[in-house]
Amino acid sequence: MGNINTASSVRYLPGVGEKRAATLANMGIYTIRDLLYHFPRAYQHRGDVRLLGEMDDGDTASFILTVASQPRTATLKNRMTLTKFTAVDESGMCNITFFNQNYVSKIFNVGEDYRFWGKLSRKGNTLSLNSPSFEPCVEGKPLPEFFPIYPLSGSLTQKYMAKIIAAALEVAKKDKMPDILPYGIVEEHSIPSLNFCLCAIHNPSSYEMLEAARKRFIWEELYTFALAISMSKNKTKEGNAPVFAKVDMEEFYSVFPFDPTGAQRRVIAEAENDMCNKSGVGMSRLICGDVGSGKTMCAAACMFMAVRNGYQCALMAPTEILATQHYNDLGVIFAKLGIRCELLCGSTTAAQKRVIKKSLKDGSIDCIIGTHALLTKDVEFKAPGLIITDEQHRFGVMQRAALGDKGKGSHILVMSATPIPRTLALIMYGDLSLSYIDEMPPGRKKVSTFTVDESYRERMNGFIEKQSLEGRQTYIVCPAIDSEEDEGLVGLDYDPEKEKNTPKLKNATEYAENLQKLMPKVKVALMHGKMKPKEKDEVMAAFAKGEIDVLVSTTVIEVGVNVPNATLMIVENAERFGLSQLHQLRGRVGRGQHKSWCILVSDTGNPVSAARLEVMTKTNDGLEISKKDLELRGPGDFLPDKSGSARQHGGFSFKVASFCDNTGHLERAFEYAQKTLADDPLLQKIENLPAKALVTGYFGIISNAVN
Ligand code: ADP
Ligand code: MG
């Protein structure tokens, strides 16, 4: 392997042929470096050896056992074979069985010690391990403490991945891979060398070692992300957006049924400054404001400015319901101002669509409101001036880029669904300037919020019944139950203390049945994640009509729903929800004239979870809540990764930074990125080339989306 280095194709590794290389390529692994950065998704802590006697039925664990009988193979009816032997430790005996793996009978001999890993079954006094993993115990050759579990694809196995990664680590040892981190970060946080960290993340021998390695890769991800975002921000500064002239806003305000709040006025002025900026650098602004803070009015004000300047504008919402709502609200107001406005959605008929598209193109429409149907190629504007997206977090960077491309050189305004603190905005919208609507329109009611534990259940049930008999309605939200496939694995974020303190999940179906039995006079209904959208709509509609008193639901109730008669929100296993999510849920009640309550039920023994829930009882301010949430959970939870759609961030995906628990890290990464770019804006210096290669990858993804 003389000339091979980490930039070489994986084909150069022993055991990687054309077919396997293709499978690896499907996972985004082309080079040896890519393979080295293919980190385990979890670890089996095999060094944590247990005694047979101390484990329960169904426990997955590691055991060191001595083979006590010679393996025997029997052929079963369906031509399957069963190989069986017994093995012991000081606490007891266990049957070990393997199906269709005759060869194991030649491996195990009486008196030999093996380390087994598997799920123990206990039937009466009989213990067995079915098809466990095993490693021989050999004097002077210690077994690894942790066993990595890799994300796989196609016919790849864990064993195979471990083997080729070991070969890749050998290559890395000889080839000094450049460190992308600036020396400042390395020194400031005592980050170990790249090679050490690569070995440690694949084969850690202790939690401390894993922690040290993870720290490096967190910084690598945060720093490259910060560079990419900062560079794209610099890039948009070149824009050639139209320069608007100031217009008389009193005409606009006079047709609105209410006066703008001070915060709305300020935000509108900030947007006006951007759009009237003589430099021609377009507006790229995010409006952050709590639910109900009045973002729509700000959007409408900007649309008014664009139209009075002779330009067209688009307002895009994530769902048809929300788009239609905007159209109904704004259409009336725009009509009074002589502004021509249309709605374009998936359900608009083909004939209507044709007419609307034609009028957009010839300039006879001023404003278009719609869903991402607006993103299709044949939607063209005569004079695009302003593109607004509402509830942006549901769109990825790529969709936003595609939308920006629709109105090349137009102003961009984004409105967040929930207020987000600056640090978080940096993560999600680092390329945008920020405006906060930090004041609510007058007359909003506070929802009284309590956290309770199981001991309160009877009283709570009484309260539900009382509310129902008074004609009010209740939402009860239970978390969806996760799959159990990762049993026995130690996740990267494994915390044994946390495990102990995790309360059992409520099963929504049983919950609803029990509640109904308990209160026969109350109408209880269930809405769960596996129902078809149409069924969910029906249940929701029945609840809105008051035909249901108590709605037990596993899914987060749609943001759009408005049932003013609902006065009680109960969240079970509240520790499972993010604070912003809880805030959103709480926002479903307190919409009518009746006093409303939110009860968070949790038996969590975890002090951090308890502290998070406490926050909810202290404030109704969405921004305050998301600041606390960020502080308590760390920014990692909010970073995009491949699995969580909530974390979708266009082309970005984070492997380890999601474990970052320090908000300051991200801000620091941005400071370092700025420092690097101030000195070398295009990353052309030798020491910045490795980082540039990664950043270019990000840009590639984004600009592909635009074309
Ligand atoms: P969001 O920020 O959640 O998009 P909306 O723009 O939908 O909020 O406004 C929420 C409600 O508050 C709407 O019914 C709207 O008419 C009302 N509203 C907005 N601004 C004001 C204001 N300045 N004074 C009174 N009511 C307002
Ligand atoms: Mg809104």
pLDDT of residue 400: 58
Locate tokens 């993560």: which residue?
A: 427
Report which protein residue has its CA nearest ligand 1's atom 19: 294
Residues 42-62, mean pLDDT to the nearest whole number? 92
Asked if residue 488 has pLDDT above 60, the reply is no
pLDDT of residue 42: 87
| Rounded distance from Cα 294 to ligand 1 centre (Å) | 4
651 and 701 Cβ atoms separated by less than 8 Å: yes
Q: Assign 658 to helix, strand or coil.
A: helix
Question: pLDDT by residue (tens digit) across 84-141?
Answer: 999 999 999 999 999 999 899 999 999 999 999 999 999 988 999 999 999 999 999 8
Report which protein residue has its CA nearest ligand 1's atom 5: 294
For residue 123, give both structure tokens: 């039937």
Q: What are phi and psi of 125, to 5 degrees?
A: -95, 0
Question: pLDDT by residue (tens digit) across 214-270?
Answer: 999 999 988 988 888 788 766 655 667 899 999 999 999 999 889 999 999 999 999
pLDDT of residue 498: 45
pLDDT of residue 88: 97
What is the end-to-end Cα distance of the chain in Å, rounded? 41
Residues 428-446, mean pLDDT to the nearest whole number? 82
Distance in angstroms (rounded) separating the CA atoms of residues 432 and 412: 9
Report which protein residue has its CA nearest ligand 1's atom 10: 292
Query: Nearest ligand to the C-alpha of residue 437?
Result: 1
Record the pTM.
0.65
449 and 586 Cβ atoms separated by less than 8 Å: yes
Q: What are phi and psi of 551, to 5 degrees?
A: -110, 115
| Rounded distance from Cα 317 to ligand 2 centre (Å) | 9
DSSP-assigned letters across all residues of 284-318: EEEEEE-TTS-HHHHHHHHHHHHHHTT-EEEEE-S
Question: pLDDT by residue (tens digit) across 539-576?
Answer: 888 998 999 999 998 865 655 566 889 999 999 999 88
Residues 521-550, mean pLDDT to the nearest whole number? 87
Question: pLDDT by residue (tens digit) across 646-699?
Answer: 333 334 556 777 667 677 788 888 899 989 999 998 899 988 988 888 887 665
pLDDT of residue 383: 92
Question: pLDDT by residue (tens digit) across 583-629?
Answer: 888 988 988 889 999 999 998 888 888 888 999 999 988 888 888 88
424 and 287 Cβ atoms separated by less than 8 Å: no
Report which protein residue has its CA nearest ligand 1's atom 27: 441
Asked if residue 482 has pLDDT above 70, the reply is no
Q: Which residues surround ligand 1 with Cβ inside 6 Å?
A: 258, 260-261, 264, 289, 291-297, 441
User: pLDDT class for 418, splitting at 50, 70, 90?
Assistant: confident
Distance in angstroms (rounded) separating the CA atoms of residues 391 and 37: 34
Which residues lie below 8 Å from residue 281, measured CB to CB, with a gap of 6+? 236, 237, 238, 239, 241
CA angle, 259 as apex, 258 and 261 as ends, to 5°?
A: 120
DSSP-assigned letters across all residues of 106-130: HH--TT-EEEEEEEEEEETTEEEEE
Asked if residue 373 has pLDDT above 50, the reply is yes
